[in-house]
Chains A and B, each alone.
Chain A
Amino acid sequence: MISWPDRFPRKDDELGALTCELRVRVLNGSATGCLVESSRALMVGTVAGLRVNLLGREYDDQVQVTRCQSIAGAGNIFHIAMEFLSTTPPYAGSLRYAIHRQLGQFGGWLHALERVEGQPQDLSRRGTAGAADE
């Protein structure tokens, strides 16, 4: 049986989520993260969802703030560096996928398949299976 101590919310209190939407301008990006410009500072470690409009298409991804610095002489302008939180492989609508395409790379994850008895395991070929083997 689970007993809840008194310090937890009372029964009539509800848990909720408060969401803030912050307009940003994406300056640049790499395979691991991107740099955005914002009018508000964010704490390092903040996890957020980033949605970007690139050439009329929307891309999104989950990110975590790694650095935030104000731009001297620019008023309330902050440069926020963030890295992608990859909990899923890059898919067609993800920002990681768009950046990989721009860089001319193929984004993907390497999945270790179940080992088959008696056969050598070559993980480096699994990600491109089919394309190179044919």
Chain B
Amino acid sequence: MSGRRTQSRVNFVNSSGVLRVSRDVVVEKIVDDAFVALSDEPGIVGDALTIACSVNQIRETVPVLVMASRPRLVNGVVKHELKLKRADSQRAARPKTVPPNRGAND
């Protein structure tokens, strides 16, 4: 070894874990079950993420899927525009299950 390890170590066996990595984004648009967010880093299409933002003045945490990621120039700086879609099927499916002119009588 290079002498880097100066502290005694504990070895783990069968220890699974989860690493939660967060990054700040600017949420530009929220349309139905889709979000458009600007990020400093590109996204990976198909990645399952969680977005925390204000939806109708209410703080929400929503599981999303990355649908597309493309670079965009914002004030001379390269940012990445991420198209995200809600991954929680119940919320995403709700508009389709309710007929458009129902609701007034309900």
A residues within 8 Å of B by Cβ? Answer: 7, 9, 13-32, 36, 38, 42, 46-54, 63, 99, 102-103
Q: What's the count of A-B pairs with C-beta under 8 Å?
A: 127
B residues within 8 Å of A by Cβ? Answer: 5, 7-12, 15-28, 37, 39, 47-54, 75, 82
Docked pose: A119 CA to B48 CA in angstroms: 59
The answer to whether A21 touches B39, judged by C-beta atoms less than 8 angstroms apart, is: no
Q: Looking at the complex, which one of A16, A22, A27, A42 makes contact with B27 (CB distance below 8 Å)?
A: A16
The answer to whether B21 touches A50, judged by C-beta atoms less than 8 angstroms apart, is: no
Docked pose: A22 CA to B37 CA in angstroms: 21
Docked pose: A129 CA to B21 CA in angstroms: 38
Sample 26 A-B pairs with CB under 8 A, ordered by A number.
A14-B26, A14-B53, A15-B25, A15-B26, A16-B25, A16-B27, A16-B54, A18-B24, A18-B37, A19-B20, A21-B20, A22-B19, A23-B18, A26-B16, A27-B11, A28-B10, A29-B12, A30-B10, A42-B21, A47-B21, A50-B20, A51-B17, A51-B20, A52-B17, A63-B19, A102-B10
